[in-house]
Amino acid sequence: MTGEAASTGMLEARFKLSERGTDVRTEVLAGFTTFLTMAYIVLVNPAILGQAGLPVASVAAATCFAAAFASILMGMVANTPLALAPGMGLNAYFSFTVVQQMGVPWPVALGCVFISGVAFLILTLTGVRQLIVSVIPQHLFAAVAGGIGLFIGFIGLKDAGIVVANPATFVALGSVTQPGPALALFGLVVIGTLAVWNVRAAMLIGIVLTTLAGWVMGQVHAPTEPYSLAALTATAFKLDIPGVFGLSGKAGLGLLEILFVFLFVDLFDNIGTLVAVTKRAGLMDAAGKIPGLNRILMTDAVATMVGAMAGTSTVTSYVESAAGVQAGGRTGLTAVVCGLLFLATMFVAPYASLVPLAATAPALVVVGGLMLLPLTEVDWEDPMAAIPAFLTVAMIPLTFSIANGLAFGITAHALLKLLKGQATTKDWFLYTLAALFVARFAWMAAA
Q: What is the 3 state secondary structure string of the chain? A: CCHHHHHHHHHHHHHCCHHHCCCHHHHHHHHHHHHHHHCCHHHHHHHHHHCCCCCHHHHHHHHHHHHHHHHHHHHHHHCCCCCEEECCCHHHHHHHHHHHHCCCCHHHHHHHHHHHHHHHHHHHHCCHHHHHHHCCCHHHHHHHHHHHHHHHHHHHHHHHCCEEEECCCEEEECCCCCHHHHHHHHHHHHHHHHHHCCCCCHHHHHHHHHHHHHHHCCCCCCCCCCCCHHHHHHCCCCCCHHHHCCCCCCCCCHHHHHHHHHHHHHHHHHHHHHHHHHHHCCCCCCCCCCCCHHHHHHHHHHHHHHHHHHCCCCEEECCCHHHHHHCCCCCHHHHHHHHHHHHHHCCCHHHHHHCCHHHHHHHHHHHHHHCCHHHHHCCCCCHHHHHHHHHHHHHHHHCCCHHHHHHHHHHHHHHHHHHCCCCCHHHHHHHHHHHHHHHHHHHHHHC
Total domains in the fold of the chain: 2
- Assess whether 36 and 107 both reside in one domain: yes
182 part of a folded domain? yes
- Assess whether 353 and 386 both reside in one domain: no
- Assess whether 250 and 398 both reside in one domain: no
pLDDT at residue number 252? 38
315 part of a folded domain? yes
pLDDT at residue number 250? 43
235 part of a folded domain? no
pLDDT at residue number 447? 58
For each of the chain's 447 residues, which pLDDT tens digit applies? 555 666 777 888 889 899 888 999 999 999 999 998 888 888 788 878 988 999 888 898 899 999 999 999 999 999 999 999 998 768 877 888 788 878 889 999 999 999 999 998 998 888 887 787 778 888 888 888 888 889 888 988 998 999 999 999 999 999 999 999 999 999 999 999 998 998 867 887 888 899 999 999 988 877 666 666 677 788 989 999 888 887 644 443 457 767 776 877 677 767 777 777 877 777 777 666 777 788 888 999 999 999 999 999 999 888 888 889 988 899 999 999 999 999 999 887 766 667 888 888 888 888 888 888 889 989 999 999 999 999 999 998 898 877 788 889 999 999 999 999 998 888 998 999 899 888 878 876 775
- Assess whether 441 and 358 both reside in one domain: no
Residues whose CB is less than 8 angstroms from the CB of residue 60 and which lie 6 or more positions away in sequence, other chains included: 42, 43, 45, 46, 227, 231, 349, 350
268 part of a folded domain? yes
- Assess whether 26 and 87 both reside in one domain: yes
pLDDT at residue number 350? 63
229 part of a folded domain? no
- Assess whether 250 and 289 both reside in one domain: yes
> Which one, of 394, 358, 407, lies nearest residue 151 by Cα?
394
Task: Tell which of 361, 378, 395 closes a domain.
Answer: 378
1 part of a folded domain? no
Identify the sign of the CA torsion 104, 110, 111, 116: positive
162 part of a folded domain? yes
Task: Tell which of 349, 378, 407 closes a domain.
Answer: 378
Q: Name the residue range of residue 436's domain.
A: 379-446
- Assess whether 246 and 299 both reside in one domain: yes
- Assess whether 270 and 395 both reside in one domain: no
CA distances from 381 to 309, 348, 377, 422 (A): 50, 53, 12, 19
- Assess whether 201 and 274 both reside in one domain: yes
Identify the sign of the CA torsion 377, 378, 379, 380: negative
18 part of a folded domain? yes
Identify the sign of the CA torsion 281, 287, 291, 297: positive
Q: Whole-model pTM above 0.85?
A: no
Task: Tell which of 360, 378, 396 closes a domain.
Answer: 378
pLDDT at residue number 412? 96
- Assess whether 257 and 398 both reside in one domain: no
d(CA 127, CA 120) in angstroms, rounded, equals 11
- Assess whether 267 and 406 both reside in one domain: no
- Assess whether 373 and 401 both reside in one domain: no
